[in-house]
Amino acid sequence: MMEFIHPAPEVEAGARAAFADLAREVEAFDPQLIVMFAPDHFNGFFYDLMPPFCLGVRACGAGDWDYWAEALPVPEALALDLVRHVQNEGVDLAYSYRMQADHGFTQPLALLTRDVTRYPVLPIFINGAAHPLPPVHRALALGASVGRFLAGRSERVLIIGSGGLSHDPPTPQMGHVGPEVEEFLIAGRNPAPEARARRQANVLAKGEALARGEAKGETLPLDAAWDEGLIEDFLAGRLGRFETMRDAEISARGGRGGHEIRAWIAAFAAMRTIGPYAATRHYYHPIDEWIAGMGMVSARGVGETA
């Protein structure tokens, strides 16, 4: 949405300035490896085979929203080592040699590194769109296992969790749409440019309607109070809340897109498992035009581990 609809100038300037600040922090940190937890929006993963979690051993961008459509720099041997480690710890992490990573991966990489291919990356998909969803406590378990894997390594590691916070885009759901849309949800990879343009135009129209206050009954309003509570929990390391968090709460407060907070949860679980961290809030603003409670938080390992 960021490149297609523009909120009030001061709102957009604040969000972009926060991204620029974080990009400078990333550049100064100069990671030797990025581990990224992110969702998909029915661009790379579909109901013909929907894993709860999947690591791209080889991956390329899905090209949605005009973002990256080429290969990502995945260190293949390291990716396989991570799969073995996580599976050995009892978390069933799927893996793909042909993963398509949509804007949930490629847009944050572009904004934070200024070049999607600048650093080696291990892209880990967490299903936050296709019901049934993985239980929230399993996202915690995934993140903790990844953290234990990273704790034994010497690289400077940047962990990214993207997605969320509260937002309710018009994501279709199985059982609530007609046969043509169901077929798309089952096997809609590599759509024709015209089909992708129509889908994206629908999302843009919803963002514009929400900003005008005309989407009531179709789209949940952004929930700043819920978002702020989540941010405070992440800052304070209160991850125990997510052991018992249920989908009903997320859907009621965060909307259809709020389930993407699983990526944040996994990222912070990995950080906490590596060791104590100090977290900083950089930005929060509910931006109707982007259908997103836009939040940015960073954390640094107290021992500079990650």
Strand pairing class (157-161; 99-101) = unpaired
Tokens linked to 266: 């996994």
189 φ, ψ (degrees, to nearest 5): -65, 150
Neighbours of 122 (CB within 10 A): 26
Single-letter code of the amino acid located at 55: L
6, 41, 103, 285: the active-site residue: 103
Tokens linked to 210: 């929400």
167, 259, 282, 285: the active-site residue: 167
Active-site residue flag, 167: yes
Tokens linked to 237: 């390391």
Count the alpha carbons within 13 Å of 160 in the hemisphere toward its beta carbon. 29
- Partners of residue 122 on adjacent β-strands: 35
State how far the alpha carbon of 24 is from the alpha carbons of 20, 30, 191, in Å.
6, 10, 36
State how far the alpha carbon of 119 is from the alpha carbons of 114, 157, 194, in Å.
10, 10, 33
Strand pairing class (33-38; 157-161) = parallel
Distance CA 224, CA 238 (A): 19
User: CA quadruple 185, 187, 191, 194: dihedral positive or negative?
Assistant: negative
Active-site residue flag, 6: no
> What residues are labeled active site?
103, 167
